[in-house]
Structure 1
């Protein structure tokens, strides 16, 4: 699998929307998961500090993507957490891993961890955080992140219509 890094959404926006539609095809009938709602989130996220995306390809076929951005003290990423953050938690810049999606035909092939690791490989922030729906895959998605070293630290409901999510974090490059 070839992996491309992007810091400009414009040349890959439609590819990401198409892959998203396939990844979420069982949920896109719900307002929060619609392609239009995702496009709005993607555009907003891509305008944030430190946005970067990776797209994986099997030949010329896009098979998955991931993207993140930098979050700093006072960022709304932190402000929306339900519980107070541990002392000093916001002091160092962190990565908010916003989205990771793999098309159904390529799931359970290692694509997700390769995209995840490729995205983190060039980042300088010391901590990476993400949000996961604890019900996704009957808990299997959260368990997958735990197997990559992520630990739950808080909860968040980032937008109206979003399910309650578990906030997880780990060192960008585990020791």
Structure 2
């Protein structure tokens, strides 16, 4: 099922509590989207991601763009501003200039997840969610991590204006990810 069935996908901007209420459906999106190569993530990975999610939705400035096909959640993008003491930059495997690493709690919006169920891809859903998520942000930039082997995602990020600034291993046992930044101002 998808747009070709005459159902229009809508994207809604949500805040923490609203997003937390959708956790079961968001877990389904995550499980479907990241089961495929190059991710190959399984049930333990989904649980790990959603342990983080439960604290992320309570962070100051958290927001999500969630795509619905009727009542079914078909995509998600969410994040929040990085704190002045964020450890995100400490996961880098490449040195970057200090000015790039500087955070003040407002400078950078961290985009932690962006996923679309396979049946709804190539219909502009990810682009619409990203646009909805970043529109109106007061942050100077958006940062995300992406697997370099995720060629479709990488192509979208570049088309949206992101540039690679280094690579990181974002958590113990994770694959190497490209760190990408989109300047908003």
Is 1:53 the counterpart of 2:64? The answer is yes
Equivalent in 55, 75, 97 of residue 86 of structure 2 = 75
| Cα displacement (A) at 1:70 | 0.3
Match of 2:124 in 1: 110
TM-score between the two structures when normalised by the length of structure 2: 0.82
Q: May I ask how many residue pairs the two structures share in their alignment?
A: 169
**Which residue number corresponds to residue 115 of structure 2?**
101
Tell me if 1:144 matches 2:156: yes
Which residue in the other structure is 2:147 paired with?
A: 133
Map of 1:150-169 to 2, 5 A cutoff? Answer: 150-169=162-181
- Any unmatched runs of 5+ in structure 1? none
Which of 10, 13, 25 is residue 2 of structure 1 equivalent to?
10
1:3–1:56 contact (8 Å) kept in structure 2? yes
* Greater mean deviation of Cα atoms: 118-127 or 34-43: 34-43
CA shift for structure 1 position 46: 2.3
CA distance in 2, matches of 1:115, 1:19: 14
Counterpart CA distance in 2 for 1:29 and 1:128 is 28
Q: Which residue of structure 1 aligns with residue 42 of structure 2?
A: 29
CA deviation vs aligned residue, 1:67-107 (integer Å, no higher than 9, x gap): 01101433111222223432422255111111100001110
Q: TM-score, normalised by structure 1?
A: 0.86
Distance 1:83 1:24, change over 3 A: closer
Q: Aligned partners of 2:88 and 2:157: how far apart in 1?
A: 19
**RMSD over aligned Cα, in angstroms?**
1.9
Matches of 1:63 and 1:37 in 2, distance apart? 21
Moved more, 145-154 or 34-43: 34-43
Contact preservation (8 Å) 1:2, 1:58:
yes
Report if aligned partners of 2:20, 2:54 keep a CA contact under 8 Å in 1: no
